A and B are shown apart, each in its own frame.
Chain A
Amino acid sequence: QVQLVQSGSELKKPGASVKLSCKASGYTFTDYGMNWMRQAPGQGLEWMGWINTNTGDRTYAQGFTGRFVFSLDTSVSTAYLQISSLKAEDTAVYFCARERFTSSWYADFWGQGTLVTVSS
């Protein structure tokens, strides 16, 4: 069965960096893209962007350029999100989600989320 398992919670100081992982299983990793979403405490969902797991092409939403980097290790079916120069406002749950196309694009399977807390 399809599963996306994300890495555990992180507590970081402002200015530090963090690298989150999203390990896929149950399907061919490079057949589907990977989305990343952010959800700040008590807030709604924000689409951060997506990475084409076949070509490595990345698309970032405005507001998630520069400090946010999507990457892959296809040998272990894992997608990564690295955030540098962390700020308090980066405190949020970060979700990865598999992207599928059947007459439209949609995220059909989601990871459980990783909580990143940025605090001094």
Chain B
Amino acid sequence: DIQMTQSPSSLSASVGDRVNITCRASQSISNHLNWYQQKPGIAPKLLIYAASSLQSGVPSRFSGSRSGTDFTLTISSLQPEDFATYYCQQTYSSPRTFGQGTKVEIK
């Protein structure tokens, strides 16, 4: 199985900060990497698919990038509604494993 290692597991940031969350795949997954946001008690929401494509309706402050097997979700200017847990998921092969999540908290 492909392992997805997310870092950090949690972070504290202030409104307006630039935030980077990284996901490393245990082997090549090409660009088959998605990012989801989840708030407590609510279903996950797709932010980014295929490593860098912004899902329709998602604010442009969210972006994704890839360097080999390292993937980064960037929030350019953190907003109050962005405090949530973020998950990466690879869809290159089955099982389509998720990262363990990164909780973004208010500093």
Using C-beta atoms within 8 Å of the partner chain, give the interface range for chain B. Answer: 20 to 34
Q: Which residues of B are found within 8 Å of A103, using beta-carbon distances?
A: 31, 50, 53
Among the stretches A13-21, A40-48, A66-74, A84-92, the one at the interface with B is: A40-48
Q: Which of A46, A49, A110 interacts with B98 by CB under 8 Å? A: A46
Q: Give chain A's interface residues, CB within 8 Å of chain B.
A: 35, 44-47, 49, 59, 61-62, 95, 97, 102-108, 110-113
Count of CB-CB pairs between chains A and B under 8 Å:
69
Q: Which residues of B are found within 8 Å of A35, using beta-carbon distances?
A: 96
Taking the closest CB of chain A, its distance from the CB of B27, in whole angstroms, is 16
- Provide a sorted-by-A list of 11 A–B residue pairs whose CB atoms are within 8 angstroms: A44-B99, A47-B97, A95-B43, A95-B44, A97-B43, A104-B31, A104-B32, A106-B46, A107-B36, A107-B44, A108-B55
Distance A84 CA – B49 CA, assembled complex (angstroms)? 34
Do A110 and B44 touch across chains, with their CB atoms under 8 A apart? yes
Q: Which residue of A lies closest to B38 (CB)?
A: A45
Interface secondary structure of A, over-half rule = strand
Distance A61 CA – B90 CA, assembled complex (angstroms)? 14
Q: Is B87 an interface residue (CB 8 A)?
A: yes
B84-107 interface code vs A (CB 8 A; 1 in, 0 out)? 000101010011111111000000
Do A107 and B46 touch across chains, with their CB atoms under 8 A apart? yes
Q: Which residues of A are found within 8 Å of B50, using beta-carbon distances?
A: 102-104, 106
Do B43 and A112 touch across chains, with their CB atoms under 8 A apart? yes
Q: Which residues of A are found within 8 Å of B1, using beta-carbon distances?
A: 62
Q: Which residue of B lies closest to A106 (CB)?
A: B49
Do B100 and A44 touch across chains, with their CB atoms under 8 A apart? yes
Do A104 and B98 touch across chains, with their CB atoms under 8 A apart? no
